[in-house]
Amino acid sequence: MIYDTLINRIGQLLLPAEGPLKGEDMKQLVVLEDAAIAIKDGKVAWIGQNEKAAQMEARQVIDAMGRVVSPGLVDPHTHLVFGGSREGELAMKQAGVPYLEILKQGGGILSTVKATRATSEEGLLKKAKFFLNRMASHGVTTLEAKSGYGLDRETELKQLRVVSRLKEEGALDIVSTFLGPHALPPEYKDRPDEFLSEMIGMLDDVVRDDLASCADIFCETGVFTVEQSRRFMKACLELGLDVKIHADEIDSLGGTELAVEMGAISADHLVAASDEGIQALADSSTIAVLLPGTTFYLGKDEYAKARAMIDSGAAVSLATDFNPGSCVTENLQMIMSLAGLKLKMTPEEIWNAVTVNAACAIGKGEDAGRLEVGKDADLVLWDVPNYSYIPYHYGVNHANLVMKRGEKIWERGDAHVFSVPQS
């Protein structure tokens, strides 16, 4: 057989196990050293030792020169499509103004809602493509993208249509999530149940037009209560949507427990999750999606209790939470570093959290986050000597080459000039 691409002389080839991985299993990471991988018709066709690759024929041979190769990264929580920006709020954050106070003053999410409503679908598409390309350049090949900056029927559907168009273009795999109840718009400030009914009323349109496979709600003080969140999630489940929830980010309201009760595919944020909620996660199939970049960007000291979650037996994943207000980064590698520094996760746990577990957190466990014969050849060649190096060396882009279904979608232009430091 003549393969399309052969990547040889791989120093470490990362092969996460089938997931989701829970608790102690998150420490398991199969690492094949002195390896090679062959690609045919966009799929992984062979994985093995480098010495066996010498007899193989391929139209393209890529010399990894001792570098690391991993599955393409998966970002399971992003707010990709939005109008405007909020750099003007940075001074307020520096002054210690709480986010909920910024929200009350008409800033925060409400300023993004205003900008998103005013931006055309084409304008939103162009902007989202820019962010998507930057994510790909940092090694992401699959991600989730939420609506939630419309807070009305017209704009929410506009955001979801943008995500659908991005999916159709196929540069990356995207899971679309309807997050209509992301906040209360000013016109419904004192009528949350009425607004929730409007968002529930949109679900038929979302499902009929196949605009999302998941639905999400922000369960938090000043936004939606546990009971309101339960009502929304029930309506979503009845229509066949997977449910997710922004839970216990600021206050411990019981959103984590609700996620488990409703069989949510993921519970996200969880900074204030209770001990009872953490144990409930461990006893369930719901995956914790932790967002340390948000805690970092908001200047807070208390991070999600990743160690308690993993030690109790829960499945943990990591995401950027890319959005214009509380975590303005497309760099999932930076989140990996924060997970090591602030969440005290091991390198093995971190890699599983941004590959196999992240894929499972958006319903893509069968398709993404792993390198296996017969699966799509979504992979990253890294300019690092070993897999522990990326969480260690923070704030830069270590990606050398990113492939989606066996095709190069990003390559570092000056990569051939440099060799990987070995000591």
Write the pLDDT tens digit of every residue in 109-124. Answer: 889 999 999 999 999 9
- φ, ψ for residue 346, nearest 5 deg: -80, 160
CA 138 to chain centre: 13
Q: How far apart are CA 198 and CA 96, in angstroms?
A: 35
pTM confidence score: 0.96
pLDDT at position 417 is 42
Helix axes 153-169, 192-208, angle to 10 degrees: 30
Q: Identify the burial level of 96 via C-beta atoms within 10 angstroms of its C-beta, where 0-12 means exposed, 13-18 middle and 19 or more buried.
A: exposed
**Residues 6 or more apart whose Cβ sits within 8 Å of residue 40:** 1, 3, 4, 406
Tokens of 405: 């279904």
- Using CA atoms, how far residue 192 sits from 158, 223, 245, 353, in Å, is 22, 8, 17, 35
What is residue 91's predicted lDDT score, i.e. its pLDDT?
Answer: 84
The C-alpha atoms of residue 120 and residue 160 are separated, in whole angstroms, by 13
User: How far does the chain reach from its first CA to its final CA, in angstroms?
Assistant: 39
SS percent in the chain: helix, strand, coil, step 5: 35, 25, 40
Tokens representing residue 36 in the block: 């090679």
Token pair for 194: 């009425």
Question: Do 229 and 217 form a contact (C-beta atoms < 8 A)?
Answer: yes
Q: Is residue 261 within 8 Å of residue 237, measured between CB atoms?
A: no
Give pLDDT, residue 414: 59
| Sign of the C-alpha dihedral computed for residues 174, 177, 183 and 185 taken in this order | positive
b/e map of 106-142 (b: 16 or more CB within 10 Å)?
Answer: ebbbbbbbbbbbebeeeebbebbbebbebbbbbbbbb
Alpha helix segments (H runs only) across 35-151: 50-53, 90-94, 99-104, 109-118, 121-137
| Dihedral, CA of residue 258, residue 179, residue 213 and residue 168, to nearest 10 | -160
Q: Are the C-beta atoms of 82 and 112 separated by less than 8 Å?
A: yes
- pLDDT tens per residue, range 40-75: 999 999 999 999 999 999 999 999 999 999 999 999
Length of the chain: 423
Q: In terms of Cα–Cα distance, which of 408, 395, 386 is closest to 11?
A: 386
What is residue 84's DSSP assignment? S
Supply the pLDDT for residue 375: 97
Listed as ranges, residues in the chain with pLDDT below 70 are: 99, 414-423
Q: What is the largest CA-CA distance in the chain?
A: 71
- Half-sphere exposure at residue 356, Cβ-oriented, CA atoms within 13 angstroms: 23
How far is residue 350's CA from residue 287's CA, in Å, rounded to a whole number?
A: 14
- Residue 256: what residue type? T
Spatial neighbors of 266 by CB under 8 A, at least 6 apart, are 76, 77, 244, 245, 259, 286, 287, 288, 289, 317, 361, 362
d(CA 347, CA 420): 19
- Give the pLDDT score at 95: 87
Closest CA to 355 of 7, 81, 26: 26
The 10 Å CB-count burial string (b at 16+, else e) for 253-264 is bbbbbbbbebeb
Preceding amide of 16 cis, omega within 30? no
**CA–CA separation, 73 and 301 (whole Å):** 27
Say whether 286 sits in a helix, a strand or coil: coil
For the four alpha carbons of 113, 118, 124 and 130, in that order, the dihedral sign comes to negative
pLDDT of 416 reads 47
Is 98 strand, coil or helix? coil
